[in-house]
């Protein structure tokens, strides 16, 4: 991932006018994402998405960037390099091949690239100053350097641990929306993307990575969500640093989102008015669910990522020498936000309005507007659906607000502490949050056993494509899409429950039938609260989310399979543990109908 979205794009999109390595990395990243996402969707719409076309999209995008950035400046160097390679080749064939000459010939491209990098680094170093002096920051005392290193380690550790712990230990998904992302990814890989009003950028990135690496999409979606969550934390640091030029405020904002300090553990007082209680309850639930969405991100979080990067990139437009590159990067970010989550464009409008009065005002307007719009969405109770996406990513806005408040408090503290104000405030902030604000263990509502997801993927690998049918709950549809047939287990049970009592009955499937049954129904440890009628009559809720409905379905399916197995000795159990049993039924000779 670092090579695909960082190193190689940075070499292709030079952006020599931007002196900051962080700005060049951001620009290369957003341009690469734009190329991959749009290119993958175009190939999918044309029915041509394959591993080869994915590579072509990536290579052509980087190639165009390279040509646009280096076409004229690099032409003499490439001509000289070509001459050296030609001379060395003729010399080798004339005198014969020896190990030292072959090694020298192979290292010519590397030496040429190293020379170009050295020349570039000399251009960035001011005249009269050694290179080491440019890396030394003025006014930084040793205690401040140590404190910054400690906070940076805390940010990196908390961010990585919180976002990669569950994706690396669990095969199943921790958020229902992730199954929809997996299904879209599978449809792109199968060149069967349905018509939609929006382009699935997250799914197209997952499909590209899966096609390029050969890794199953279920694992790619898992890790890509965690990587995007980590990138959002880094983008907060980049944007806060660009807007405030305050290292302590940047560290505070980044740490607040990296460690996720926004969970709400205090009970809501019953003495408050009912409307206030409802609003606080919505905010609390949103922030608690946001802890899970830090690694199970979706399209809205991806849109928020590019909204933040758009604000950070726009700070470079003010300088004429950087305007072209910064404007391209900003427009790419804005276009991605418009494609992924156009509701978030209102945040960019607030940031643009504030930037008229300076960077600090832009930081203030976007931070306050993000939180106000999120609270307004919670108060309205759905009357402002446009602000629903802002409420979903409210923790990101809160982290910006933390950076804003910290900057104000540290500035006020200079009256008493002078230059020690920022280090002291940062130390107190870290100490208090470590004791009182760290997030609890997330209350994850899984939808299936982990073994169910693992066995569904295993079946897709072991059995020939489209030569088997999996009968399972709805979650397995996304896991096996494009590899085999699928049938809903509730419909399967209702259709054949009475017919299997006949010894002469055979399942009318021309493929191997694999039925996932639950000996111990997967039931959440929560009471079954009353639900609206529209939810109650929904088949998914009735059969899989309702404890009583899932228990009844599991018992009926287990009895159906045991009855059929008793009359068909060629049936076997594919897998069994204390909770699951997977039956394997062979296709019968008189089964003439196609699989559902």
Residue 207 has pLDDT above 50, yes or no: yes
562-567: long-range pairs with CB below 8 Å, 24+: 563/500, 563/501, 564/496, 564/500, 564/505, 564/507, 567/500, 567/503, 567/505
Please give the Cα distance from 359 to 562 (Å, whole number).
70
Average the pLDDT over 267-278 and give the result: 84
The partner residues of 512 in beta bridges, in order of sequence, read 468
70-92 pLDDT, tens per residue? Answer: 654 555 655 665 666 666 666 65
Q: Determine contact, residues 399/256, Cβ cutoff 8 Å.
A: yes
User: Maximum distance among all alpha carbons in the chain?
Assistant: 94
Average the pLDDT over 319-347 and give the result: 90
103 confidence band (pLDDT: 50, 70, 90): low
Count of Cβ atoms closer than 10 Å to residue 102 Cβ: 12
Start-end of H helices in 171-273:
176-189, 201-213, 217-244, 247-258
Residue 331 has pLDDT above 60, yes or no: yes
The mean predicted confidence, pLDDT, of the chain is: 83
Instruction: Give the chain's length.
Output: 596
Higher per-residue confidence, 5 vs 119: 5
Please give the Cα distance from 96 to 361 (Å, whole number).
69
Please state the domain extents for the chain.
Answer: 2-64+150-436, 72-125, 450-585
588 confidence band (pLDDT: 50, 70, 90): confident
The secondary structure of residue 190, as a DSSP letter, is T
255 confidence band (pLDDT: 50, 70, 90): very high
Residue 221 has pLDDT above 80, yes or no: yes
Residue 114 has pLDDT above 70, yes or no: no
Please give the Cα distance from 71 to 559 (Å, whole number).
71
Backbone torsions φ then ψ of 488, nearest 5 degrees: -65, 130
The pLDDT of residue 119: 56
Q: Determine contact, residues 468/484, Cβ cutoff 8 Å.
A: yes
The pLDDT of residue 275: 83
Q: Of the ranges 216-225, 285-294, 343-352, 381-390, which one carries the lowest mean pLDDT score?
A: 381-390
Q: Is 388 exposed, middle or buried (0-12, 13-18, 19+ CB in 10 A)?
A: middle
Q: Which of 446, 444, 470 is nearest to 458 (CA)?
A: 470
Structure-token pair, residue 15: 């952006």
Q: Determine contact, residues 248/422, Cβ cutoff 8 Å.
A: yes
Residue 397 has pLDDT above 60, yes or no: yes
Please give the Cα distance from 555 to 497 (Å, whole number).
11
The pLDDT of residue 184: 92
Q: Determine contact, residues 35/336, Cβ cutoff 8 Å.
A: no
357-395 pLDDT, tens per residue? Answer: 989 999 999 999 999 999 998 888 767 777 888 999 999
Structure-token pair, residue 167: 């994706």
Highest mean pLDDT among 98-107, 278-287, 376-385: 278-287
Helix (H, G, I), strand (E, B) or coil at 580: strand
17-35 pLDDT, tens per residue? Answer: 787 888 888 988 999 898 8
Higher per-residue confidence, 224 vs 530: 224
Structure-token pair, residue 275: 């409307």
The pLDDT of residue 592: 41
Give the 3-state secondary structure of 474-532.
Answer: CHHHHHHCCCCEEEEHHHHHHHHCCHHHCCCCCCCCCCEEEEEEECCCCCCCCCCCCCC
The pLDDT of residue 138: 39
Cα–Cα separations (whole angstroms), residue 134 to 128, 145, 440: 11, 16, 43
93 confidence band (pLDDT: 50, 70, 90): low
């Amino acid at each position: 991932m670092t090579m695909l979205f960082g190193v190689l794009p940075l070499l292709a999109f030079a952006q020599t006018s931007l002196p900051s390595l962080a700005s060049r990395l951001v620009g290369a990243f957003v341009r690469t994402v734009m190329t991959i996402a749009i290119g993958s969707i175009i190939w999918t719409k044309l029915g041509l998405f394959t591993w080869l076309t994915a590579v072509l999209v990536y290579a052509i995008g980087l190639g165009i960037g390279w040509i646009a950035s280096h076409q004229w400046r690099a032409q003499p160097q490439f001509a000289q390099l070509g001459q050296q390679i030609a001379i060395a080749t003729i010399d080798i064939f004339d005198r014969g091949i020896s190990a030292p000459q072959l090694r020298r010939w192979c290292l010519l491209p590397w030496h040429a690239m190293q020379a170009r990098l050295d020349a570039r680094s000399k251009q960035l170093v001011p005249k009269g100053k050694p290179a080491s002096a440019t890396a030394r920051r003025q006014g930084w005392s040793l205690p401040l350097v140590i404190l910054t290193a400690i906070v940076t380690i805390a940010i990196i550790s908390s961010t990585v641990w919180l976002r990669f712990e569950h994706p690396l230990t669990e095969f199943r998904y921790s958020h229902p929306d992730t199954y929809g992302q997996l299904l879209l990814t599978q449809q792109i890989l199968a060149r069967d993307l349905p018509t939609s009003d929006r382009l699935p950028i997250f799914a197209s990135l997952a499909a590209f990575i899966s096609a390029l690496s050969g890794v199953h999409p279920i694992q790619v979606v898992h890790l890509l969500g965690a990587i995007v969550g980590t990138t959002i934390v880094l983008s907060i640091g980049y944007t806060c640093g660009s807007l405030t030029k305050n290292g302590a405020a940047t560290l505070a904002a980044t740490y607040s989102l990296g460690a996720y300090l926004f969970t709400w553990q205090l009970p809501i007082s019953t003495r408050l008015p009912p409307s206030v209680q409802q609003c606080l309850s919505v905010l609390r639930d949103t922030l608690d669910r946001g802890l899970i969405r830090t690694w199970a991100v979706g399209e809205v979080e991806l849109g928020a990522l590019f909204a933040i990067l758009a604000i950070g990139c726009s700070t470079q437009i003010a300088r004429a020498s950087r305007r072209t590159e910064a404007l391209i990067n900003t427009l790419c970010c804005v276009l991605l936000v418009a494609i992924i989550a156009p509701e978030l464009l209102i945040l960019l409008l607030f940031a643009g309005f504030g930037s008229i009065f300076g960077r600090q005002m832009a930081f203030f307007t976007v931070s306050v507007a993000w939180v106000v719009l999120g609270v307004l969405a919670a108060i309205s109770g759905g009357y402002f659906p446009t602000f629903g996406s802002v409420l979903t990513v409210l923790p990101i806005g809160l982290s910006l607000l933390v950076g804003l408040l910290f900057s104000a408090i540290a500035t006020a503290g200079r009256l008493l502490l002078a230059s020690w104000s920022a280090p002291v405030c940062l130390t107190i902030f870290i100490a208090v949050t470590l004791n009182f604000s760290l997030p609890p263990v997330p209350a994850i509502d899984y939808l299936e056993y982990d073994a169910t997801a693992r066995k569904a993927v295993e079946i897709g690998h072991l059995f020939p494509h489209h030569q088997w049918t999996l009968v399972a709950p709805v979650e397995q549809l996304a896991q096996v899409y494009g590899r085999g047939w699928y049938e809903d287990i509730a419909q399967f049970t209702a259709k054949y429950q009475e017919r299997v009592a006949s010894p002469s009955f055979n399942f009318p499937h021309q493929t191997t039938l694999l039925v996932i049954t639950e000996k111990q129904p997967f039931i959440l440890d929560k009471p079954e609260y009353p639900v609206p009628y529209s939810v109650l009559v929904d088949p998914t809720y009735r059969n899989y989310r309702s404890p009583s409905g899932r228990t009844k379905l599991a018992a009926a399916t287990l009895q159906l399979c045991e009855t059929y197995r008793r009359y068909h000795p060629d049936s076997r159990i594919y897998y069994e543990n204390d909770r699951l049993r997977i039956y394997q039924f062979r296709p019968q000779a008189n089964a003439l109908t196609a699989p559902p």
